[in-house]
Structures are given as structure tokens and as C-alpha cells.
């Protein structure tokens, strides 16, 4: 395998800074990677782990294929602990596991603890981490990731070096997932995690019913009052299907607004879509981005509230 660092797209300044720090043996022992979701922060944290533990570096970079590099990539390395939320929280027991792992002797081997979405740590978990974060054992590095550094407790922030990341460029996205239509890159708003596959085929009947729901959503002035949303979104799987179809309708509306009729996916429904051409294109971009987010969040939210808040934010006049 190629090294993880070579797979991290974009973020050149941050990569350069971190790699120089590793070479100069000045890598901070506690870091926070802060930036939008789905841009490669965790992958970069794992890439740094490879650089720290590689058994046969090439030009001071991880080789990507020695045993140590492979184990890091598979998250099976004794040098790496990757902590992620269980449910909605990172709990104190998870942090206690980390602390007992760090209390074991390591024979001078470097170790990295990555806490993904560290803002999910509850107060107990955060507090239990503070002392170790301030004075980590030798050769231990903490990398916490978060979408917004302000979501972390000030005591965590003050003990860490904050490294900020921006959304990826459309060129970056194309490099990560080539061959998609340009509207997909645009809708992903610099977050590779949003480049979902929308090619999944739903039945025609299903799609037509989703389109009339879509039309109703945009044209009914009292959508929230007059819609029994549960009739449409019976369960989460159905709701997810609706949102995906809505995404393709929105995408088609954007394409239509640019005069590219031949690129419309739902070409048999063009007459219905054209009726909705009063929606400004900027609104459509915002809406498609919101739909992607809603698809990601589908397991965590109330269906009725989800559709109502989409309407309030995007369709209410
Ligand atoms: Zn290696």
C-alpha cells in the first residue's frame, strides 16, 4: 500500500508543518485538528502515526508497506488507539481504557491516541483526560479531531496545539473520487464525506410519488400545518429514499437553470420540474447541501421535525 500520507488529499500547509515537526522531533504531544467533517482529518492523524512508527522509512517518510505501517492502516497497531463515540458520546470508560493502555511500558515505542470527534466526550470523560493531556508519558501523542474547536472544553483546548483545516477544493474532491458529475462536487461543499453515491435505482412509482411530495413541499404555503409527514416518511429507510430522490430532483433543477436539459436525470419529469423554476439557484445549492446532511443524520433525528425544519429553512416564503 501507498503510505497514508500520500493518500491524504489537500491540506498541504498542515502536512508540511506536521512532517517538519516530526523530522525535528518537535511534534506537539497534544494536538487538536479542527475543521469540517469529511475532509480527511482522521486519515491525516493516522498518516502521522505511520510516520512515527514506520520500520523502514523512505526519505524520512512512512513506507506504507512494512508491518508497522500496515497495522496502523488496519487500525490493528499496538502503537495506535483510535477512540470514537459509542452512540452519542465518548464515555469515561473509553478514556479509562486509554489511560490504562498508556500506563503500560512501551519500550520507547512511540504511541498515538486519536480521539475522533473529541467534542463528543462528556464532561467526565474530558476531565479524566486532562492530567494526561497536560503531561503525556514520553513518546505519546494525542490527536483530537473536531469540527469546531469551540465545542471542546477550554481546559482541553488550552493544553493542546490547535491546527485548523479548511474544506477541500473541488479539484481535491475530484482527485479523491474522480468521474462524478460536476454538480456533485459542487454540492459536497468541500467535504469528501458527502460524495455519496446517488446512482442507486429506486422504483419509478416510488420516485414519482417522491416528486409530487417535492412539488408539494415547494409550493404549499402551509406545508407544516397541512402535511401528514408520516404518510410519506413511514420509516427511516423510506425517508432516506425520499431525501435521495429529492437530491436528484434538486440537482436536475440546478442543471435546468443552467440550460443543460440534456443532462437532466429525471428527464421524463421535466414538465413538473420546470414548474418549480421560480426557486433561485442559490437556494437550490443550499437545499442540496442540507439534503446531504439530512441523509447523513437520518438515524439521529425525528422524521417529522426533519422535514418541517427543511421546509422552514428552505421553502417557506
Ligand atoms: Zn513503514
- Residue 253 CA, ligand 1 centroid: distance in Å: 48
The pLDDT confidence band at residue 105, using thresholds 50, 70 and 90, is confident
According to the model, what pLDDT value does residue 197 have? 47
Name the one residue in this structure whose C-alpha cell is 523512505.
Answer: 58
Rounded to the nearest angstrom, the distance between the alpha carbon of 75 and the centre of ligand 1 is: 14
- Residue 25 alpha carbon to ligand 1 centre in Å: 18
The answer to whether 89 touches 120, Cβ cutoff 8 Å, is yes
Cα(24) to centroid of ligand 1, in Å?
19
CB of 87 closer than 8 Å to CB of 119: no
Do residues 126 and 97 lie in contact, with contact meaning Cβ atoms separated by under 8 Å?
A: no
* pLDDT of 200 over the 60 cut: no
Q: Are 244 and 206 in contact (CB under 8 A)?
A: no
C-alpha cell at 253: 433543477
3-class SS of residue 163: strand
- Give residue 51's pLDDT band: very low, low, confident or very high (50, 70, 90): very high
Distance 273 CA to ligand 1 centre (A): 54
Q: Which fold has domain 4-166?
A: Rossmann fold (3.40.50)
Burial 275-303 (b: 16+ CB within 10 A, else e): ebeebeeeebbbbbbbbbbbbbebeeeeb
CA of 76 to the centre of ligand 1 (A): 14
Cell output for 123: 464532561
Residue 146 above 70 pLDDT?
A: yes
What per-residue confidence (pLDDT) applies to 266?
A: 81
| pLDDT tens-digit series, residues 207-238 | 888 898 999 999 988 888 888 888 778 888 88
Rounded to an integer, what distance in angstroms lies between the CA atom of residue 288 and that of residue 296?
13
**Å from CA of 55 to ligand 1 middle:** 5
Distance 102 CA to ligand 1 centre (A): 23
All residues with CB under 5 Å from ion ligand 1: 54, 62-63, 66, 69
Residue 227 near residue 220 (C-beta atoms within 8 A): yes
Q: Cα of 1 to ligand 1 centre, how many Å? A: 10
Predicted confidence at residue 48, as pLDDT, reads 98
> How high is the pLDDT of residue 198?
44
ipTM summary value: 0.99
Whole-number Å distance, alpha carbon 65 to ligand 1 midpoint, is 5
Residue 58 CA, ligand 1 centroid: distance in Å: 8
- What pLDDT shows up at residue 204? 66
Instruction: Using the mean position of ligand 1's atoms as its centre, give its distance from the Cα of residue 114 in Å.
Output: 19
Separation of 9 CA from ligand 1 center, angstroms? 20
**DSSP calls for 8-48:** --S-HHHHHHHHHHHHTT---SEEEEES-TTSSHHHHHHHH
Give the pLDDT confidence score for residue 203 in this predicted structure: 60
Q: How far is the CA of 78 from the centre of ligand 1 (A)?
A: 14
Question: Taking 70 as the threshold, does the pLDDT of residue 196 lie above it?
Answer: no
CATH class of residue range 197-315: mainly alpha
Cell numbers representing residue 159 in the block:
493544553
CA of 108 to the centre of ligand 1 (A): 17
Residues of the chain with CATH 1.20.272: 197-315
Mean pLDDT for the chain overall: 90
User: What are 237-259's pLDDT values in tens digits?
Assistant: 889 889 988 999 999 999 999 99
* C-alpha 94 to ligand 1 mean position (Å): 28
256-307 residue pLDDT tens: 999 988 888 887 788 899 999 999 999 999 999 999 999 988 888 888 899 9
The boundaries of every CATH 3.40.50.300 domain in the chain are 4-166
Count of C-beta atoms within a 10 Å radius of residue 248: 20
Q: How many residues does the chain have?
A: 317
What does the pLDDT look like over 123-144, one tens digit per residue?
999 999 999 999 999 899 999 9
Amino acid at each position: 500500500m501507498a503510505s497514508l500520507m500520500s493518500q491524504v488529499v489537500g491540506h498541504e500547509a498542515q502536512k508540511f508543518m506536521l512532517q517538519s515537526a516530526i523530522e525535528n522531533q518537535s511534534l506537539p504531544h497534544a494536538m487538536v485538528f479542527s475543521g469540517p467533517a469529511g475532509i480527511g482529518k482522521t486519515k491525516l492523524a493516522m498518516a502521522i502515526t505511520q510516520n512515527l512508527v514506520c520500520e523502514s522509512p523512505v526519505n524520512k517518510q512512512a513506507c506504507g508497506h512494512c508491518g508497522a505501517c500496515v497495522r496502523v492502516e488496519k487500525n490493528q497497531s499496538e502503537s495506535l488507539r483510535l477512540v470514537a463515540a459509542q452512540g452519542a458520546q465518548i464515555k469515561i470508560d473509553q478514556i479509562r481504557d486509554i489511560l490504562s493502555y498508556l500506563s503500560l511500558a512501551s519500550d520507547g515505542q512511540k504511541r498515538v491516541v486519536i480521539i475522533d470527534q473529541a467534542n463528543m466526550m462528556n464532561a467526565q470523560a474530558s476531565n479524566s483526560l486532562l492530567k494526561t493531556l497536560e503531561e503525556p508519558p514520553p513518546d505519546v501523542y494525542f490527536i483530537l479531531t473536531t469540527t469546531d474547536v469551540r465545542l471542546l472544553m477550554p481546559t482541553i483546548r488550552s493544553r493542546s496545539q490547535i491546527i485548523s483545516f479548511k474544506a477541500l477544493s473541488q479539484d481535491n474532491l475530484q482527485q479523491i473520487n474522480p468521474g462524478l458529475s460536476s454538480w456533485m462536487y459542487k454540492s459536497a461543499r468541500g467535504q469528501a464525506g458527502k460524495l455519496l453515491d446517488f446512482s442507486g435505482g429506486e422504483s419509478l412509482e416510488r420516485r414519482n410519488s417522491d416528486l409530487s411530495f417535492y412539488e408539494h413541499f415547494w409550493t404549499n404555503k402551509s406545508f407544516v400545518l397541512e402535511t401528514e409527514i408520516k404518510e410519506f416518511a413511514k420509516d427511516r429507510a423510506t425517508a432516506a429514499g425520499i431525501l435521495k430522490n429529492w437530491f436528484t430532483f434538486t440537482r436536475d433543477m440546478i442543471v435546468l437553470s443552467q440550460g443543460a436539459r440534456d443532462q437532466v436525470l429525471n428527464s421524463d419529469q421535466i414538465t413538473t420540474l420546470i414548474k418549480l423554476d421560480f426557486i433561485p439557484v442559490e437556494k437550490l445549492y443550499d437545499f442540496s447541501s442540507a439534503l446531504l446532511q439530512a441523509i447523513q443524520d437520518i438515524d439521529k433525528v425525528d422524521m417529522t421535525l426533519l422535514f418541517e425544519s427543511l421546509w422552514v429553512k428552505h421553502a417557506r416564503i
